[in-house]
């Protein structure tokens, strides 16, 4: 039975009732006179408490049931409900259901009425309709298909929800997929079905987001589409896993990616071809300089020596001229030799190890920088293209060090392993910032990267432990025979035996 706070002769609502959010009234069962009302009732009716206490419930609700007995205490038993239409001070009305409870207070029959606002279901429905309207607006303006996909405990698929974008994306109506969910799997090209199922099962197992890209065949347009689906799973009580997400058509962007990739591959192929032609041209020029011009200069020197031997010994002027011409021929021969080596070092014919060893010595002599070279093999069998690429990258790297690094020491190391070779060039210079690597005119670095990529290799730049820069290139061995030789050379090291090295 409800409690009242009324030690005096006038009954009052308990403090908890006074603070309740629902309207609560206490009135006399015989006269319907309002004895007390909580703050929610006063606020809603817009009356002060003392004004309500001067009124009856029939005045507050003119449509109070006419057949309602004057003494409710005898009719309602323990509890009853009465629908009423309450009227506010401003004459506006609102529907209310009063749950009535009988209260005896010092022998006086009282009624406690607690109001339930009948507008609540309508307000809830209106709010739900507003949310649904917003959802429909978002879905209708979303590019793609908003969907729910489920997989029950027995592995049976389903599509509980499909937006109107279903027909435009998949060429199937939502009704078709609702009736036959397996039709979606049949749309996926055979080559992509395995990845689709693997990604789905992985998402189901981990309850992690599902992101998949693949191709579907849209029979309605006789065309292949690339689609991307992104969704989030949740486990339901019956063991079903349900995903909510969106499918989008990514055909255009995917084709652009493929075109860009193919374009880059063609550009890399063209770059490699240009480098190869350039090396061939350099080889031809070096050979002609050495054979033709070098041979002619050697013949001139021999003829000059013969003529000089026949000059009168007392003709100092002619002897001086002959000596000058002889020195000029020597300088020309040296220039031809130097230019020929720049065009194509003849040391490459002796192998990459010998060529790099010679280049390091030349760099140390010309740049005045201490430079060492080491290799874990005396010989490395590479194709001509690979050997030339490794040598040119080393040449370019050393040139950059001489120009920009301000280094005093450089270490070049060639390591041959079973399937690849690795060349590292380390300096103790000022180092290289990321912004330096991305400069628009940094063609040296780009050229080295392109040369390595042309042979399916990689080039990386990193900071050296003590300051400076480490450049590393890694290229796969050209032939199975080279890999076999490298593996055979690795055998002593694996057995704990010493390995031959070439180091300066």
Tens-place pLDDT, residues 365-377: 989 999 999 999 8
Q: Kindly state the tokens that stand for 145.
A: 């298909």
Contact 109, 213 (CB under 8 A): no
**Closest C-alpha among 449, 423, 427 to residue 355:** 423
Quote the Cα angle for 321-323-327, to 5°: 115
- How high is the pLDDT of residue 439? 62
Q: Kindly state the tokens that stand for 19.
A: 């603070």
In the sheet that holds 157-162, the strands lie side by side as 157-162, 145-151, 241-249, 223-235, 210-218
Contact 73, 102 (CB under 8 A): yes
Topology alike, domains 15-122 and 142-249 = yes
Q: 3-class DSSP state for residue 485?
A: helix
Tallying the residues shown for the chain, one arrives at: 504
- How high is the pLDDT of residue 374? 93
- How high is the pLDDT of residue 483? 45
Q: Kindly state the tokens that stand for 254.
A: 């995917």
- How high is the pLDDT of residue 126? 65
Q: Domain limits of the chain?
A: 15-122, 142-249, 275-343, 348-503
Round to the nearest angstrom and report the end-to-end CA distance of the chain. Answer: 104
pTM summary value: 0.47
- How high is the pLDDT of residue 119? 52
Contact 209, 231 (CB under 8 A): yes
Q: Please state, in angstroms and rounded to a whole number, the distance separating the CA atoms of residues 174 and 147.
A: 10
- How high is the pLDDT of residue 140? 76
- How high is the pLDDT of residue 492? 44
Please provide the average confidence, as pLDDT, over all residues in the chain.
Answer: 82
CATH class in words for 15-122: alpha beta
Q: 3-class DSSP state for residue 474?
A: strand
Q: Please state, in angstroms and rounded to a whole number, the distance separating the CA atoms of residues 456 and 474.
A: 9
Q: What is the pLDDT along the chain (504 residues), one digit of tens a residue?
A: 455 665 556 788 888 888 888 899 999 888 889 999 999 999 989 999 999 999 998 899 887 766 554 445 455 554 577 888 888 998 888 888 888 888 888 888 889 999 875 555 555 666 677 777 777 777 777 788 999 999 999 999 999 999 988 999 999 999 999 999 999 999 999 999 999 999 999 999 999 999 999 999 998 888 899 999 999 999 998 999 999 999 999 999 888 888 888 887 787 778 777 877 877 787 788 777 777 887 888 888 888 888 888 888 888 888 888 888 889 988 888 888 788 777 777 778 888 999 899 999 989 998 999 999 999 988 888 887 888 888 888 988 998 899 888 899 999 999 998 788 999 999 998 887 666 665 655 667 878 888 888 878 888 888 888 888 999 999 887 554 444 444 445 544 444 434 444 433
Q: Domain 348-503, CATH 3.30.565.10 — does that match? A: yes
- How high is the pLDDT of residue 484? 43
CATH topology of domain 142-249: Beta-Lactamase (3.30.450)
How far, in Å, are 22, 97, 118, 201 from residue 126 at the CA level?
21, 20, 14, 40
103: left (phi over 0), alpha (psi -120 to 50) or beta: beta
């Amino acid at each position: 039975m409800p409690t009242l706070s009324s030690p005096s002769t006038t009954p009052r609502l308990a403090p908890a009732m006074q603070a309740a959010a629902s309207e609560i009234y206490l009135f006399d069962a015989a006269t319907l006179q309002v004895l007390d009302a909580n703050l929610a009732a006063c606020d809603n009716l817009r009356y002060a408490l003392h004004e309500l206490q001067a009124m009856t419930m029939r005045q507050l609700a003119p449509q109070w049931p006419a057949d309602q007995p004057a003494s409710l205490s005898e009719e309602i038993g323990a509890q009853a409900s009465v629908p009423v239409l309450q009227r506010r001070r401003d004459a506006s009305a609102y529907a209310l259901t009063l749950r009535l409870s009988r209260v005896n207070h010092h022998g006086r029959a009282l009624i406690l009425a607690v109001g339930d606002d009948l507008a609540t279901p309508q307000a809830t429905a209106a709010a739900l309709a507003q949310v649904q309207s917003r959802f429909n607006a978002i879905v209708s303006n979303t590019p793609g298909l908003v969907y729910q996909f489920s997989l029950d405990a027995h592995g049976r698929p389903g599509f509980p929800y499909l937006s109107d974008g279903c027909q435009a994306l998949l060429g199937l109506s939502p009704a078709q997929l609702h009736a036959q969910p397996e039709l979606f799997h049949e749309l996926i090209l055979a080559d992509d079905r395995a990845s689709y199922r693997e990604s789905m099962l992985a998402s189901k197992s981990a309850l992690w987001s599902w992101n998949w890209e693949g191709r579907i065949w849209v029979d309605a347009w006789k065309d292949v589409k690339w689609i991307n689906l992104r969704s989030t799973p949740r486990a339901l009580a019956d063991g079903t896993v349900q995903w909510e997400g969106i499918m989008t058509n990514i055909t255009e962007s995917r084709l652009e990616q493929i075109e860009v990739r193919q374009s880059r591959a063609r550009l890399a192929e063209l770059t490699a071809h240009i480098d190869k032609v350039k090396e061939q041209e350099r080889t031809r020029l070096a050979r002609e300089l050495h054979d033709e011009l070098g041979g002619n200069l050697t013949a001139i020197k021999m003829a000059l020596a013969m003529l000089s031997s026949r000059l009168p010994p007392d003709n100092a002027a002619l002897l001086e001229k002959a000596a000058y011409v002889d020195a000029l021929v020597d300088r020309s021969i040296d220039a031809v030799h130097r230019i020929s080596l720049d065009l194509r070092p003849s040391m490459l014919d002796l192998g990459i190890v010998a060529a790099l060893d010679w280049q390091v010595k030349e760099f140390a002599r010309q740049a005045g920088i201490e430079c060492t070279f080491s290799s874990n093999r005396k010989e490395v069998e590479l194709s001509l293209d690979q050997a030339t690429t490794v040598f040119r990258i080393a040449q370019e790297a050393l040139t950059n060090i001489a120009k920009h690094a301000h280094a005093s020491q450089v270490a070049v190391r060639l390591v041959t392993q079973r399937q690849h070779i690795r060349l590292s060039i380390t300096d103790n210079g000022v180092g290289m910032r990321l912004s330096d690597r991305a400069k628009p005119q940094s063609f040296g670095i780009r050229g080295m990267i392109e040369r390595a990529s042309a042979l399916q290799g990689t080039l990386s730049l990193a900071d050296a432990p003590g300051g400076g820069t480490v450049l590393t290139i890694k290229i796969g061995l050209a032939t199975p025979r080279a890999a076999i030789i490298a593996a055979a050379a690795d055998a002593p090291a694996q057995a704990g035996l010493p390995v031959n090295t070439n180091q300066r």
